[in-house]
Chains A and B, each alone.
Chain A
Amino acid sequence: AQSVTQLDSQVPVFEEAPVELRCNYSSSVSVYLFWYVQYPNQGLQLLLKYLSGSTLVESINGFEAEFNKSQTSFHLRKPSVHISDTAEYFCAVSYGGATNKLIFGTGTLLAVQP
């Protein structure tokens, strides 16, 4: 079955420390990978995506994620977090097809402490 696993439900980290949020997906020939961020009582905002090409993708606010086909992973990293990065982060995968629906993981709460 197609699935996305985010093993860490919550990641506490101090401000200015580095962080990694883990994401693994069930293997497939071709996948499209996404990270979304959700602030309280809001919808999801696209943070970054991997469709093809370079396996390292970056967002405008300092996050990056690396597609690793052999490990079926798409971990999200940031070298130095801010209080404002506190939010729920969701990894999602599309296996293509006519619908292009997304399958989401259960999310990781990034809790940045001063």
Chain B
Amino acid sequence: DTGVSQDPRHKITKRGQNVTFRCDPISEHNRLYWYRQTLGQGPEFLTYFQNEAQLEKSRLLSDRFSAERPKGSFSTLEIQRTEQGDSAMYLCASSFQGYYGYTFGSGTRLTVV
């Protein structure tokens, strides 16, 4: 069990550029979540996968955001045409189905300049 891995740890990008983050969950976990955390706030739910199926998306996930989990393993979160308001920590978490409480990764900190 190597935990939940996220890559990169930090990303600085210019406004208008596209960025993609990767999350590798714990291998036995079939549930995967993406959260966003801005400064001074708690994490906010973005989206949820069960295996490869994206079953719920928050209204926070505008059409510039897209997430995938091909083959039910790793997941990617892409932000197109980044804006300064996208600057945040993006957290990935995974769990077993039926288990309450996730394991979080260390997050990807995005800074849009």
**Residues of chain A having any CB pair with chain B under 8 Å:** 4, 9, 32, 34, 36, 41-46, 49, 51, 90, 92, 94, 98-107
**Cβ of A104: which chain B residues have Cβ within 8 Å of it?**
42-44
Q: Once A and B bind, how many residue pairs between them come within 8 Å at the CB atom?
A: 58
B45 touches A43 (CB 8 A): no
- A46, B106: Cβ atoms closer than 8 Å: no
Chain B residues numbered 45-99 whose CB sits less than 8 Å from any CB in chain A: 45, 48, 55-56, 91, 93, 95
Cβ of B105 < 8 Å from any Cβ of A?
A: yes
Cβ A107 vs Cβ B41 within 8 A: yes
Instruction: Report yes or no: A106 in contact with B100, Cβ–Cβ below 8 A.
Output: no
Q: B6: nearest residue on chain A (CB-CB)?
A: A43
Number of interface residues of B (CB under 8 A): 25
Q: Secondary structure of the B side of the interface? A: strand
Residues of A within 8 A of B103 (CB): 46
Contacts of A107 in B (CB 8 A): 40-42
Q: How far is the CA of A2 from the CA of B55 in the complex (A)?
A: 20
Whether the Cβ atoms of B48 and A101 lie closer than 8 Å is: yes
User: Which A residues are in CB contact (< 8 Å) with B41?
Assistant: 106-107
Q: Note all chain B residues with C-beta closer than 8 A to A9.
A: 40
A30 to chain B, nearest CB (A): 11
CB distance from B41 to the nearest CB of A (A): 6
Whether the pair B104, A34 counts as a contact (CB closer than 8 A) is no
Residues of B within 8 A of A43 (CB): 4, 6, 91, 104-107
Whether A90 pairs with B56 at a CB distance below 8 angstroms is no
16 other A-B residue contacts (CB within 8 Å) besides A42-B106, A45-B104, A46-B102 = A9-B40, A41-B106, A42-B107, A43-B4, A43-B91, A43-B104, A44-B104, A51-B100, A90-B42, A92-B42, A100-B31, A101-B33, A101-B45, A101-B48, A102-B45, A104-B44
